[in-house]
Structure 1
């Protein structure tokens, strides 16, 4: 079975209304180094996509360009049909784009509940109102819903610093879910997790609402290929292949990349 090297050709039609994300010739250079080079593909609304590749393939840089943490050197980024190439990261968040990071970005001295509440308030109207919300406030109800969704009710009032690594990863996912996101980028959520915590992560990702699409970077293929519909393989900053999990898992060239045997 032949796998194409990109979802888009140079003559591709304009973005369809069903696409959550479209990248067109996206490049990010740091001096003479092109961390990602002429990357083009689209992700449909509600789609679950994995981006895989060996270390240094450009996966996290790609996420940084999608979220606006790094501006693209060239190319276009569209989010639900709107060109966001020059839109600041905080505005992309307000548009419904969320992400987690390889390194935890949590308020370790606050409780789990407080972290989730701050995430909810951060994407809500009136987020600069510093008055303590009453128990009946919609933000409190949204916080309770997130606690249940990421299965952290039992540790809701414990400080984050006392949580296991796996629970902290669950909390990060909960914070990314605040405010009904339209697309979430998960950057190696299974890193450092125990086998039991990995099973919990798979269950959590599978339980997300069907309309909520995500892209996951994950070195653990047993996890990545179990929770997505499509896979994009990157190599040396470029898109190498796309395919279904079954196609990618059985592809000898992809296996060679992970074993360090492929050369362009």
Structure 2
């Protein structure tokens, strides 16, 4: 991303996809998130990194509404969604994937993506059998192509490799014209070749779709994002471009174990 765009983002110019203001989440006496303030531009691709227990997945759960906030506010494209239930956030174009696959093993790839598209459409309760020219069927085929599963569209989910199931999860997140996606460790358990394929998929997503990616594989995270937020003990620790984060001595000492090559 151009330096002017980064400067605009840092100074709050332009349209924001997500605005977090003092987001806090307590579990009893444990402060899992403490005063997280973050502004993410429409179309921006950001990594949220940190060690286990830093609060990354809790942050995702707060954004999606799975965990109610103890304090703070969340805005999605200018609308305060802090008190909206998860399904209303989905209807507004917010999507996410999970660390652990949540797929229907008895469905085919095509049926899985079609149902995801149908589930967020206005005709989701229609009993009419869709034809080949049904808009949701056509969208499902387009999405399957985008995640490189064309040759596997008729296979049962249960027969897919782990990497292919991860690709299918990305496909499901793309259903229904999302405006912003939260990717929770999409490269977990992937082989080197599958990780390279994932990088290509993420880089070629439509430019208007922004996302946050949580990822332990820094080679993936730093290649597919243009800004990085580091978390530590439920707080923001460092922020900067991938190059700035990669070369920050404090980040190297705590997270990278020396220079990341």
What is the alpha-carbon distance in structure 2 between the residues aligned to residue 62 and residue 231 of structure 1?
15
Taking the aligned partners of 2:247 and 2:90, their CA distance within structure 1 comes to 36
Match of residue 192 from structure 2:
195
Deviations 1:106-158 (A, max 9, x none): 11111000100011001100212233211221111111111111111101011
Partners of 1:160 and 1:71 in 2: CA distance: 33
Q: Which residue of 2 aligns with 1:20?
A: 17
Q: 2:66 aligns with which of 64, 69, 78?
A: 69
Correspondent of 2:151 among 147, 151, 154: 154
Task: Please report how far the alpha carbon of residue 16 of structure 1 lies from its aligned counterpart in structure 2 after TM superposition.
Answer: 6.0
Match of 1:178 in 2: 175
Distance in 2 (alpha carbons) for counterparts of 1:104 and 1:130: 29
Matching of residue 224 in structure 1 with residue 226 in structure 2? no
CA contact 1:29–1:36 (8 Å) conserved in 2: yes
SS at match of 2:40: strand
How far apart are the structure 2 equivalents of 1:260 and 1:35?
Answer: 25
Runs of 4+ in 1 over 4 A off after TM superposition: none
Backbone CA RMSD of aligned residues: 1.7
Matched, 1:236 2:233: yes
Tell me the SS of whatever aligns to 1:36.
strand
* Long gaps (5+) in structure 1: 1-6
Match of 1:56 among 53, 57, 61: 53
Q: Is the 8 A contact 1:17 1:81 kept in 2?
A: no
Partner residue, 1:94: 91
Gaps of 5+ in 2: 1-6
Q: Which moved more, 1:199-208 or 1:133-142?
A: 133-142
Which residue of structure 1 aligns with residue 109 of structure 2?
Answer: 112
Could you tell me the TM-score, scaled by structure 2's length? 0.92
User: What SS class does the counterpart of residue 242 from structure 1 fall into?
Assistant: strand
* Normalised TM-score (structure 1): 0.91
Distance 1:254 1:135 in 2: 52
- Worse-superposed segment, 152-161 or 121-130: 121-130
Per the alignment, residue 132 of structure 2 pairs with 135
| Structure 2 SS opposite 1:64 | helix
